[in-house]
Amino acid sequence: MDRRIKYTKKIIKDTFLSLLSEKDIKNITVSEICKIADINRATFYRYYLDVYDLLNKIQEEFVQELKNATTKEDNNISTFSKNLLNVFLDNKELAKLLFTTTNNVFLLNDILEVAYEKCKNKWLEDLPNLKEEEIEYATVFIFNGALGVVNFWIKNNFDADIDEISSIIESLSSYGTKRFIYKK
């Protein structure tokens, strides 16, 4: 992609995300984005249909980045979660916005799908006697909890180290809350 196109898309996205941190998406206009980004409306419409399409494209890119961060070598929860957490850390402002806006349900489902496929394939390989329904329930339970931990981490301004958050996710996923509630 041409550098000018990359720059233009970046300035549009940065402007939009800045506005989204200040107000609800329904109160953001294409004209406002263009004025702040110092571009004309035709340039905006060359890449996006409207502000909702822009948000959708940003979310799709973020989910794709999460998918690209996982590899076949991620055969344990710790490595897998560290790779995903690094993507969140590399996209701090976006992560904050996506986890705090009311439009995050679809994004969270996409993130859950990334983790679900990885987990399901690993469990089917390691534990062939598990029923698919059991895997689905366990995966939904574990990864909704993991997303809750990530959300808490983001809301606390990424205050903990990735290794610490990954360890918490791994421990809760493997052993439940027992280790946290009944510490010796």
Residue-wise DSSP of 45-101: HHH-SSHHHHHHHHHHHHHHHHHHH--TT--SHHHHHHHHHHHHHHTHHHHHHHHHS
Q: Spell out the per-residue pLDDT of the chain, length 184, in tens.
A: 689 999 999 999 999 999 988 888 899 999 999 999 999 999 999 999 999 999 989 988 888 888 888 765 656 777 888 888 898 899 888 888 877 655 555 566 666 676 677 777 777 777 778 887 887 788 778 878 888 888 899 989 999 999 999 988 888 887 777 766 766 5
Instruction: Say if residues 168 and 141 touch (Cβ distance below 8 Å).
Output: no
Cα 67 versus chain centre, distance: 10
Gyration radius (Cα) of the chain, Å: 19
3-48: what fold? Answer: Arc Repressor Mutant, subunit A (1.10.10)
Instruction: Say if residues 77 and 154 touch (Cβ distance below 8 Å).
Output: no
Domain ranges of the chain: 3-48, 58-181
pTM for the whole thing? 0.76
